[in-house]
Structure 1
Amino acid sequence: MKNLLSLILIFVFLTSCSTLSRKRENSKLKSEIKETLLTYTAKQEAPKLVVGIVVDQMRYDYLTRFYSRYGNGGFKRLMNDGYNLTNNHYNFVPTYTAPGHASIYTGTSPMNHGIIGNNWYDKMEDKVIYNASDKDYTGVGTDSEDGKMSPRKMLTSTVTDQLELHTQGKAKVIGISIKDRGAILPAGHAADAAYWFEGGDRGNFISSTFYMQQLPQWVSDFNTSKKADHYLKTWNTLYPLETYTASGPDLNDFEKAPKGKETATFPYDLNNLRGENGNYSLIKGTPYGNSIVADFAVEALKKEEMGKDEITDFLAVSFSSTDYIGHQYGVNSVEIEDTYLRLDLDIERLLNALDQEVGNGNYTVFLTADHGAVHNPAYLQSKRVNSGYFSRSNFEKQLNKDLKTMYNQEDLISNISNDQIFFNKENVRKNKINPIDLENFIATLIIDYVHIDKVYTRNALVSGIQADGTGRLIQNGFHHKRSGDVIFVLEPAVISYSKTGSTHGSSQSYDTHVPLLFYGNGIRKSSSSKRTEIIDIAPTISSLLKISFPNGATGNPISEVLK
């Protein structure tokens, strides 16, 4: 403390020096002391609040492609006044929403946390299961299946769990999203609350008895206010349509119009379209889904008094409407550009609320994405770029036919999903087929199928380390107990999807390369093109908070980000 007081007295004395010569002589020393004071303060004071922002289906180049059109208070504020990591990637496949969110917050990949997809085939139950479904819990604020959720299928702890454990449950942790999985997985197992949006005829934020027995009064009040009705209005471009030069033409062949509308073109009369498009669920596929999440997050910040004491709280916010819009209209659409310009304003609004409620310098923010997205293959083909479409039904028919020819047996395959082939173990054993021989036969067979680029077997993934790039990503996404027996990889820009819109899930850079921005308390102002991985986020935040890493963490702190 004496050293700190001495530095302060010296800094004040040097600052008060009035002559030009003294200013010149002491400017360097003043700068060094100021930096020391800032560093000392950062070391002494943890942020009062950490805010994790995940933007669903955000490619890295959405930061640069729309940069000139962003305001100064949203994305640009985080990029220019924080730490911008421009070469951040997912280190596994499949690149889907649930594995992405789980990996951000656990600091490890599906091989450890077990969330191998949004849905996956459960070999024990012989059925496809959802990543957050849990029949042991019921909805709060709803009586529908939408509330029967928990994070229990995620096998490892999250950075939010570790904060709760470190503070003996005194930290307040809340997850918020349009999607249940976007709220539940980041909030973790020990959270105070997770809230997600129920569409259909309700238009409310709901939760699960895993977290609470009834909604807090402020949530009930928010739902009663029918904020969702406000957003069922006309969606037109924020600026004149002719200014959207970072996208393709509004009318094209690569987008899917909502039901009840002939073309995917502006404007969209949402109130008129709601009847044929799921009523309140329609909001999810518009920029207003992000806006209502921002509304709810600001309300949570205020009503829950987050960041008001000396114990760090954690607010996990996932903006998911970008994913719905990307799937429907595609990477190159005016709809996507307009959505990100509007999201920029929502993020600015959230940051302003943080300034007002917590105080600039008292909170830390990180922003990233759960995956990217591919350009529409039909659009790429129009530009003479290699791309295509893969029929999973034709693939399955051909595979079963070839297996019948080879083994004179049917039903050797139980399921094909997430580019994984699951054997029918009982039939394989009954027919005395060696599983490794079957793996190798299928691998040798399907590598010659159209659009199959690479194939990996369970035996190869379990018994050895994959050295090449794609193999490493496959292995990091492979869970020994939950994953399949043969995994195949499609050629770049080949997807199993409709001819309109965009999708994701691959090991290609358009799916793995996502933004990573840090801002605020304890964060340096700079940028780097050094490669980082999504699993590095949780260890970095853990290091900032001086708490234990999540218990399955395999990522490393990005030390240059921290003061």
Structure 2
Amino acid sequence: MKQFTCVGGWLIAGLLWFTSVAPVSAEGPKLLVLLVVDQFRADYVETYGGQWSGGLRRLIDNGAWFTEAAYPYLNTVTCAGHATIATGAYPSTHGMISNSWWDRALSQSVRCTFDPDVEVVSYGIPHEPGESPNRLRVPTLSDELRLQLDSDARVVTFSLKERSAIMLGGHLADVVTWFGRNNAWVTSSVYTKRPIPFLADFIQASPIEVLHGTRWSRTLAATNYLYEDDIEGERPPANWEGTFPHLLEGEQGLPDEQFYERWRTSPYSDEALGQMAVAALEQLQLGQRASTDYLAIGFSALDHVGHRFGPKSHEVQDVLIRLDATLGRLLDELDRWVGQDRYVVGLSADHGVSPIPEQMIALGFDAGRLRFRLVREHLESVLEQLLGPGPHVAGMAANSVYLVPTAQRQLAQNPQLRVGVLEGFKEIPGIQKVFFADTLAERRLSEDHLERAAALSYYPGRTGDLVYVLKPYWMSGAAASHGTANFYDRRVPVVLFGANIKAGRYASVASPADIAPTMAHLVGVTLAQVDGRVLAEALQ
């Protein structure tokens, strides 16, 4: 039995759990594994790689490592990055331009996965908004795997974040699980109407709350870490200091919101995801049947920690050391259950991260923090001088300014007013360049790399009217952040490992968008809309 649904203009078959067996080729890998480490800067491999001896080390040393890989687009954030890795397309194609954007019809910001028409299926407290992939405009690698090759393929994804798990899982996954806003593991009714039995058993047997009172200390001796432990500009979670150790404890001595936030901001959350993946590997026999299956994990701890402590912190280094161990155990289990020559791994990140601005200022660089309230006030002042009394700004999100309809019409009719707006916008400290969005659709091949980056993040109806690009070392938000076209945000690792992969270091042009087309090639699947390429130089 199949239920057919139209999603983003294409027809997909909503498949029931593990039914309808289709013949598959005996050749090629039997399990595709995507590992996405949130906020994993490419230079962490060179800078901190000497601290690793487990899974990260094995992937780098024995895999095909594309040392110059980078995203070519502007909005280097989680939802856009995971969608790009899963589809092989850029935001201008897949439509997931950011973690959220301004919805003109609703007059509010909406999350990339927010869907009030579906329900959350919870393994704990059920009350939170629905989430789904309904805004994703192209099929993912796993969708095409099931549609073209084998409807019995099992598709499993895990992450702390809904936007990570859902983008990696696409529209047709079986098990898509994330840690919800109400501090419970959850999924969406898009994928299942009830908790998955093996996962419910695992969660009951491995409660997060047993970690209450645990101290997160350095894994290695302090002398093995680079830089100082407490650096200017760090912003630890409430009631944590800037130095080790860090106590995973609730505010009242019981598991509460503070405890769960501390758990997210620690390597223990990555370890939980690794354990869940191993449970799925065993219980669902991933890669152990005639079908080719798909397993994807979005490791989120590095992002939570990096935002708070910055890229030079001991905390970031220790998260990577422990992730190295977690991945080592996962690879060992893949060898055991699937076999070394029967799976292929793609390792990458959704984005990098900026240095902490205060640290760059201390070194004499032009750096700082952009305050959205001040940006909006300045732009309103500029627009009032040009257009008359406002307000003229409806909202701000995704490196964009969204104007009210009257301001849109006035500017569309008068090129001189548009020039005035651009000049006024560039007076704001930290702004490098500004574009009117309606000029970007045809500029994806622009020789101006910033214009091209903005164009590759542009999607009609979602991007605002004005798109701005920040200068290097300028940012907004936490201690350190991302979301710009600067190279430290765009450059991330791309590593392929396993069946039919030729190990080595490759300096050729590459992008995380190349992972899905390459994996699709290995299993004989054709992706519908891709901006990436097959990394043929790394194939045996």
Shift of 1:242: 2.9
Shift of 1:313: 0.2
**CA distance in 2: counterparts of 1:526 and 1:433, whole angstroms:** 52
In 2 relative to 1, CA 483–435 (structure 1 residues): closer, same or farther, beyond 3 Å? farther
Shift of 1:435: 6.8
115-124 or 381-390, which moves further after superposition?
381-390
321-330 or 123-132, which moves further after superposition?
123-132
Matched, 1:96 2:77: yes
Verify the 8 A CA contact 2:177 2:186 in the aligned structure 1. Answer: yes
**CA distance in 2: counterparts of 1:259 and 1:53, whole angstroms:** 30
Q: Give the alignment's TM-score, normalised by structure 2.
A: 0.91
**CA distance in 2: counterparts of 1:210 and 1:442, whole angstroms:** 44
Partner of 2:451: 471
Shift of 1:415: 1.2
Shift of 1:199: 5.8
Task: Percent identity, please.
Answer: 28
Partner of 2:308: 328
Partner of 2:93: 112
Matching of residues 155-194 of structure 1 within 5 Å = 155-194=137-176
Partner of 1:425: 405
Verify the 8 A CA contact 1:227 1:292 in the aligned structure 2. Answer: no
Verify the 8 A CA contact 1:49 1:363 in the aligned structure 2. Answer: yes
382-391 or 175-184, which moves further after superposition?
382-391
In 2 relative to 1, CA 393–47 (structure 1 residues): closer, same or farther, beyond 3 Å? same
Shift of 1:293: 0.5
Matched, 1:370 2:350: yes
Verify the 8 A CA contact 1:387 1:494 in the aligned structure 2. Answer: yes
Deviations 1:108-130 (CA, angstroms, capped at 9, x unpaired): 11111111110100123221100
**CA distance in 2: counterparts of 1:256 and 1:525, whole angstroms:** 40
Verify the 8 A CA contact 2:250 2:257 in the aligned structure 1. Answer: no
Partner of 2:60: 79
**CA distance in 2: counterparts of 1:439 and 1:406, whole angstroms:** 9
In 2 relative to 1, CA 276–385 (structure 1 residues): closer, same or farther, beyond 3 Å? farther
Number of matched residues? 511
Partner of 1:252: 231
Partner of 2:495: 517
Matched, 1:409 2:409: no
**CA distance in 2: counterparts of 1:199 and 1:410, whole angstroms:** 36
Task: Name the amino acid aligned to 2:524.
Answer: K
374-383 or 140-149, which moves further after superposition?
140-149
Verify the 8 A CA contact 1:258 1:277 in the aligned structure 2. Answer: no
Partner of 1:540: 518
Verify the 8 A CA contact 1:93 1:506 in the aligned structure 2. Answer: yes
The answer for unaligned runs of 5 or more in structure 2 is 1-24
Partner of 2:537: 560
**CA distance in 1: counterparts of 2:341 and 2:412, whole angstroms:** 64
SS in 2 for 1:455: strand
Equivalent residue in structure 2 for 1:342, among 317, 322, 335:
322
Name whichever structure is richer in helix by fraction: 1
Matched, 1:241 2:211: no
Deviations 1:4-59 (CA, angstroms, capped at 9, x unpaired): xxxxxxxxxxxxxxxxxxxxxxxxxxxxxxxxxxxxxxx97211101000000000
Matched, 1:211 2:191: yes
SS in 2 for 1:279: helix
Task: Name the amino acid aligned to 1:391.
Answer: R
Matched, 1:318 2:295: no
Equivalent residue in structure 2 for 1:47, among 13, 29, 38:
29
Partner of 1:458: 437
Task: Name the amino acid aligned to 2:531.
Answer: T
In 2 relative to 1, CA 276–191 (structure 1 residues): closer, same or farther, beyond 3 Å? closer
SS in 1 for 2:344: strand
SS in 1 for 2:463: coil
Equivalent residue in structure 2 for 1:353, among 329, 333, 342:
333
Verify the 8 A CA contact 2:101 2:109 in the aligned structure 1. Answer: yes
Shift of 1:243: 2.5
In 2 relative to 1, CA 152–439 (structure 1 residues): closer, same or farther, beyond 3 Å? farther
SS in 2 for 1:57: coil
Verify the 8 A CA contact 1:91 1:534 in the aligned structure 2. Answer: no
Shift of 1:388: 1.6
Task: Name the amino acid aligned to 2:280.
Answer: A
**CA distance in 2: counterparts of 1:236 and 1:143, whole angstroms:** 31
Shift of 1:409: 2.2
Verify the 8 A CA contact 1:164 1:191 in the aligned structure 2. Answer: no
Shift of 1:479: 0.6
Matched, 1:382 2:359: no
In 2 relative to 1, CA 537–437 (structure 1 residues): closer, same or farther, beyond 3 Å? farther
**CA distance in 1: counterparts of 2:255 and 2:105, whole angstroms:** 40
Deviations 1:104-149 (CA, angstroms, capped at 9, x unpaired): 1111111111111101001232211001111111111255454611
Verify the 8 A CA contact 2:307 2:481 in the aligned structure 1. Answer: yes
Equivalent residue in structure 2 for 1:270, among 226, 248, 251:
248
The answer for unaligned runs of 5 or more in structure 1 is 1-42
Equivalent residue in structure 2 for 1:528, among 495, 506, 525:
506
Q: Give the alignment's TM-score, normalised by structure 1.
A: 0.87
Deviations 1:328-369 (CA, angstroms, capped at 9, x unpaired): 111110000111000000000110110111111111001000
Verify the 8 A CA contact 2:386 2:420 in the aligned structure 1. Answer: no
458-467 or 233-242, which moves further after superposition?
458-467
Matched, 1:443 2:425: no
Deviations 1:285-305 (CA, angstroms, capped at 9, x unpaired): 111110101011111111111
**CA distance in 2: counterparts of 1:473 and 1:437, whole angstroms:** 25
Task: Name the amino acid aligned to 1:61.
Answer: D
SS in 2 for 1:66: helix
**CA distance in 2: counterparts of 1:145 and 1:62, whole angstroms:** 38
Verify the 8 A CA contact 1:439 1:485 in the aligned structure 2. Answer: no
In 2 relative to 1, CA 188–435 (structure 1 residues): closer, same or farther, beyond 3 Å? farther
Matching of residues 286-305 of structure 1 within 5 Å = 286-305=266-285
In 2 relative to 1, CA 444–286 (structure 1 residues): closer, same or farther, beyond 3 Å? same
Shift of 1:380: 1.4
**CA distance in 2: counterparts of 1:144 and 1:208, whole angstroms:** 11
**CA distance in 2: counterparts of 1:435 and 1:296, whole angstroms:** 57
Task: Name the amino acid aligned to 1:306.
Answer: L
Task: Name the amino acid aligned to 1:140.
Answer: V
287-296 or 435-444, which moves further after superposition?
435-444
**CA distance in 1: counterparts of 2:299 and 2:414, whole angstroms:** 43
Deviations 1:426-457 (CA, angstroms, capped at 9, x unpaired): 4654x797275554331122123322111111
Partner of 1:38: none
